[in-house]
Chains A and B, each alone.
Chain A
Amino acid sequence: MGKTLAEKILSAKSNEDAKAGDIVIVDVDVMALQDGTGPLAIQQFDEMGAEKVARPDKTIFFMDHAAPSPRKELSNAHMMIRSFADRTGAKYSEICDGVIHQRLVESVTSPGDVVIGADSHTCMSGALGAFATGMGSTDLAVAMAAGKTWMKVPETIKVELKGIFPKGVSPKDAIIYFIGKIGADGATYQALEFTGQTVESMEMTDRFTLTNMAVESGSKAGIIAADDITRKYLADQGRADDYRPEFADDDGEYVETHVIEVDSLEPMISMPHTVDNTSTVTDAAGTKVQQVFIGSCTNGRLSDLTAVAEILKGRRVNKGTRLIITPASRDVYLDAIREGVAEELVEAGAMITGPGCGACVGVHGGILGDEEVCVATTNRNFRGRMGNPEGSIYLASPETAAATAVKGEITDPREFL
C-alpha cells in the first residue's frame, strides 16, 4: 500500500513504516519560535535543566509579532530571546527581518523536512513538500533539547483544485471557500494535501497562501508535493541544493477527496467572527470599512502587493478608510521598493509599515476602534484579534481588499478589472 506525503515524510524521519494513526518519534529538522511563544519555551527549557540545544543552526526565534516592540515588557522578552540565543548558539531573526513563516520558506525549510513551530501557521512551510505543524511552547522546549518530538501520523484529506482562476479570483478565495465548506473543525487532526492541475501550475507564493490557512480547518498540516516549481523557487532563493523531489505515492490512502472547480469560484470573504463564516463578496458588498490591512504570512508577499497596486493605479484610497500595508519580510519590502510597487501604493494613499506581523494579531500596527470594521488579507478574524473585541474583521484576497480601500466599503474587485 502506498503512502500519502505526510506518511512518507514521517516514515523517513522516524525510520519506521509509518501509517495514519501510528505514534512515531521523529527527528525534527527545523524548530521555530516567535516572540510571543519563545520566552515560555525558554523558561520550560531551563526548568527541564537542559543546557544544550540539539540543533542550534535550525532552532530559530523570530521577533515578528511585536516588531518593533511597542512596550517595555515586550522589549524585555526580546532581550530574553537574544541572550538565550547567545548562550546556546540558537539563531534569532531580528525585528526588521519579517514574519516567521515567510522567513522559513525563504531561507530555512526544505522539501522532506519535519518542521515544528510554536505558532499555529507553521503549516505554511508544507507548501515546500515538508511536514510542518504548530505546537505549544513546552513541546518546543522538549524538542529543542531532544532534537525530536512525538507525533500521531495524521490521516490525509486530498484537496484537488481544477481549472483556471477567473479574473479577480485568487487562491485566497479558493481557501476561504474550502474552509467555509469543511468548517473550522472539519479537518481536526488530519492533514490536507493540495493537488490537481491548478496547484501543479501555481507559483509558490500562491501555494503558501493555501497551506498557510490549512490550520483554519483544524488541520495538523497542509502539504504540497515538491516539484519543478518548488525547485525553481528554491533556486531563486539561492538554495538550489536544498531541493529534492517529494511526491505522494499514486496508491496512497486518503480519507476524503474534495474537488474545487476554480473556474466557477467567485471572490469570497470570511465574515465576523469566524473564518468559516463565509460568503461571496457580492453578498457582503456595501458594508462600510474604516481600515484595510494588507499583509501577514497569508498575503503579505510581493505578488500580493503588486495585485493591490494594479487596482490602486490611478485611483485613491477612500477618504473614510485607511490602508495599512505591512510587507511579510525584508526581502518582500526591498523588492517592492526596487520594482516601484511601494511608490505606487504610497502615492495612492497607503501607509507602508516595516515588515512583520503588523496589525494581524492586535499587538500594534493598526488596532481597531470600537465598532470599526476592517477588511484584512490575514487568516483569522476572531473577536478581538486586532486588539479590540468591539471591532469586526472580514478576511479576503488582496484584490478584494484593494477594491474595498478605494470605495470605502466591501467591494467586488471585478468592478475594477
Chain B
Amino acid sequence: MEELKGKAWKFGDDISTDHIAPGRLFHLRTDLPELAKHVLEDADPEFASKMKKGDFVVGGRNFGLGSSREHAPRIIKIAGVSAVLAKSFARIFFRNSINVGLPVLVCDTDKIDLGDELEIDLAKGIIKDTTKEIELTFQPLPPAMVRILSDGGIVEHYKKHNGFKLD
C-alpha cells in the first residue's frame, strides 16, 4: 500500500453521520460527487472548500456515530481524504469504511493538532507527525477486515471467493 501524506483537519468527539452527510441534502444521495462538496458541512462549513486531496480527517471519540448511511464514508473518500484517524469509531461507520476502501485508523489523536503535516505508512502501522516530529502507532485492523480491505472491499471480496472467506 502506498504512503499517505497530507494535512490534519481536526474535529471533536461524536462527529455523526448527520454532520458528514446531512439529511437536508438527502436528495443528493444519488449524486455522490455533488454530495461530497458538502462533506462534514455541519461540523465545519468550510472544510470541503479548504481541504486538499490527500489530507486527513482527524476526529476524537466515536467518530461516525448515528445512521447507517454509507454515503458518509463514500463522500469522505470521494472528497479526496486519504484516511480518517480517531480515538474510536462507531460500528457501522467503521464497517462501511472498510467496505468502500476508506482507511480508518484508531490512534491517540490528542497528540495531533489542526494543520499538522502527517505521513502514514499503512503497511507498517505508523503515523508520522512531521510538524511535531513524533511517531504514533495505530491499532491493527481485525483479521477479517484486513482480508476484505486487501481484496479491495466487500464486493470484490465476495466476487473473488465466490462467497465469504474470512477465516
Contacts and interface: CB of A to CB of B under 8 A. Distances in A.
B40 to A, nearest CB: 11
B62 A142 contact: no
A220 B18 CA distance: 19
B24 interface: yes
Interface string B149-167: 0000111001100011011
A11 B146 CA distance: 24
B10 interface: no
Given A184-B14, A218-B91, A382-B18, A120 B67 contact: yes
A40 B92 CA distance: 16
Contacts of A369: none
Given A138-B100, A367-B24, A384-B23, A37 B166 contact: no
B29 to A, nearest CB: 6
Contact of A136 (B26, B30, B66, B70): B70
Contact of B29 (A48, A77, A134, A382): A77
Contact of B153 (A65, A138, A220, A386): A138
B5 interface: no
Contacts of B19: 382-384
B11 to A, nearest CB: 12
B99 A139 contact: yes
Contacts of A120: 66-68, 92
A65 B22 CA distance: 13
A270 B69 CA distance: 23
Interface string B66-98: 111111001000000000000010111001100
Select the residue from B29, B70, B91 with max chain A CB neighbours within 10 A: B91
B66 A382 contact: yes
A142 B22 contact: no
Nearest to A217: B65
A362 B66 CA distance: 14
B144 A141 contact: no
B166 A23 contact: yes
Given A23-B166, A74-B27, A37 B42 contact: no
A185 interface: yes
B14 to A, nearest CB: 6
A25 interface: yes
B31 interface: yes
A39 B26 contact: no
A36 interface: yes
B28 interface: yes
A119 interface: yes
B42 A389 contact: yes
Contacts of B155: 44, 47-48, 138, 141-142
A34 B155 CA distance: 20
B14 A40 contact: no
Select the residue from B23, B42, B90, B95 with max chain A CB neighbours within 10 A: B23
A188 interface: yes
A185 B68 contact: no
A361 B29 CA distance: 14
A120 B61 CA distance: 19
Interface stretch (A55-63, A145-153, A170-178, A255-263): A145-153
A388 interface: yes
A157 B24 CA distance: 35
B54 to A, nearest CB: 24
Contacts of A149: 164
A85 interface: no
A141 B42 CA distance: 29
Contacts of A382: 16, 18-19, 66
Contact of A48 (B14, B28, B30, B158): B158
B30 A77 contact: yes
Given A136-B70, A138-B154, A363 B96 contact: no
Contacts of A65: 26
Interface of A: 23, 25, 36-37, 39-40, 44, 47-49, 65-66, 71, 73-74, 76-77, 80, 117-120, 122, 134-139, 141-142, 145-146, 148-150, 152, 184-185, 188-189, 218, 220, 274, 361-363, 367, 380, 382-389
8 contacts: A40-B70, A47-B155, A65-B26, A73-B27, A119-B68, A136-B70, A138-B153, A380-B67
